[in-house]
Structure 1
Amino acid sequence: MLFVVLPAYNEEAGLQPLLDDISKACQGIPLQIIVVNDASTDHTLEIARDYALSNPAVQVLSHTRNKGLGGSLMTGFKHVFAQRRMLGEQSGEWIGHDDVILTMDADNTHPAERIPLMAELIQQGADLVVASRYAPGGKQYGLNPLRQVLSWGAGQVMTVFFPVEGLRDYSCGYRAYRASVLESAYIIYGEELIESRSFAGMVELLVKVANYCGEIREIPFDLHYEKKQGKSKMKILATIMGYFALILRLKKEKWGWVEWVGE
């Protein structure tokens, strides 16, 4: 089973085209799409619910207050874990080892056409597949220079502090996880799997889950930010501070202040 988790905050313009693209790209694949409405103030919730009425593969969860990207992902993940347990109990069989949890932005800037390949790589043995703008063949369009520098710089900094072999794109949220691996990380970390409130939460999730992955693959994709309509949710200063806070917190947790400073 492929579970697609879509955190959505004020994405009324891009959500329906994305749902159409996912449904088209994933024809023939057992699929559930979980839209997590993060207390949107536009028509995101209504669009998602209307879509679910005609497409049983779509499920809609909704926050009454905004919990941020990390909180929305956690809501979606826990829902998937519960679904997997329920399906296992109904079938009387072991929960599917090859189930996939895929995350992507709900603003239609991530091309759904890459989903089948990412799911296939999990089936072939990868535990984590990252769609990367920086892998050979990857591109990005419509991103302002400051955002480009921030995304690239985040990867460079994280490579120094938390190196993951072969990985270039640490901040992109377009990823496929082996569900059993992600659930194992959740069992270990609990609600602390994603503590960061800013977009640094995507980096935090990657760093923590990577510790439990055997094989990690990175594939190129084209980020089409020119398709995004409306104002970006990323607050540049908060995101930069979030990255530094994440580094300090994870280093302190791993080695303690004395060892970290000595390093």
Structure 2
Amino acid sequence: MLFVVLPAYNEEAGLELLLDDIRKACQGIPTQIIVVNDASTDHTLDIAQNYAQSFPEVQVLSHPQNKGLGGSLMTGFKHAFAQRRILRKQCSEWVGYDDIILTMDADNTHPADRIPFMVEQIDQGADLVVASRYAPGGKQYGLNPLRQVLSWGAGQVMTLFFPVPGLKDYSCGYRAYRASVLESTYMIYGERLIESRSFAGMVELLVKVAGYCREIREIPFDLHYEKKQGKSKMKIMATIMGYFALILRLKKERWGWVEWVGE
């Protein structure tokens, strides 16, 4: 089973089109699409619920109060874990090891046609697949220079402090996880799996999960930020500070201040 987790905050402009694209891309793949409405103030929830009435593979969860990207991912992950247990009970021959949990932005900037290829990579043995605009063949369109520098710089800084061999894109949320690996990591960290409320939460999740993956693959994709409608949710300074806070916290947790100072 493929579980597609979509954190959605004020995404009324592109959500329905994205859901159409995901369903088209996933034809032939058993799929559940989990839309997590993060207390949107526009019509995101209405659009998602109306869509789910016509397509039962779409499930809608909603936060009464905004929990941020990390909180929305956690809600979607826990729902996917629960669905896996339900499927296991319903079918004695069902094997959950090869389930996949895929995350992507709900603003239609991530092309859904990459999903089958990412699923294929997991089926071939990868535990984590990251769609990367920095991998050979990847491109990005519509990002202003400041956002480009921030995304590239985040990868450089994280590579320095938390290197993951072969990985260039640390901040992109378009990823496929082997469900058993992600759930095992959650069992270790619990609610601390994603503590960052800013966009640094995507980097935190990557760093924590990567430590339990036998194989991580990076595939190219084209980020189409020009397709995004409405204002960006990213607050530049808050994101930068979030990255530095993440580095300090993870370094302290892993090695302690004495060991870090001695590096």
TM exceeds 0.5?
A: yes
Percent identical residues: 86
- Asked if the contact 1:5–1:73 (Cα under 8 Å) also holds between the matched residues in 2, the reply is yes
- 1:120 maps to 120
Matches of 2:119 and 2:13, distance apart in 1: 27
Superimposed CA distance per residue, residues 194-217 of structure 1 (whole angstroms, 9 cap, x where no aligned partner): 000000000000000000000100
Partner in structure 2 of residue 160 of structure 1? 160
TM-score by length of 1: 0.99
Tell me how far 1:94 sits from its aligned partner.
Answer: 5.8
Shift of 1:91: 1.1
Where does the alignment leave 5 or more consecutive residues of structure 2 unmatched?
none
- Which SS does the other structure have where 2:66 is aligned? coil
> CA shift at 1:93, angstroms?
4.2
Preserved contact between residue 85 and residue 95 of structure 1 (Cα < 8 Å): no
Name the amino acid aligned to 2:108: N
Q: Secondary structure at the match of 1:229?
A: coil
Query: One-letter code of the match for 1:133?
Result: R
TM-score by length of 2: 0.99
Matches within 5 A, 1:69-218: 69-93=69-93, 95-218=95-218
Q: Which 4+ runs in 1 deviate beyond 2 A?
A: 92-95
Residue type of the alignment partner of 1:211: G
- Given residue 32 of structure 1, which amino acid in structure 2 is its aligned partner? Q
Per-residue deviation, 1:116: 0.2
C-alpha distance in structure 1 between counterparts of 2:55 and 2:194, whole Å = 30
Question: Which residue number corresponds to residue 232 of structure 1?
Answer: 232
2:87/2:94 contact within 8 Å kept: no
CA RMSD of aligned residues (A): 0.6
Q: Secondary structure at the match of 2:35?
A: strand
Structure 1 residue 92 displacement after superposition? 2.5
Which position in structure 2 is the counterpart of 1:242?
242
- 1:218 counterpart SS class: strand
Taking the aligned partners of 2:121 and 2:83, their CA distance within structure 1 comes to 23
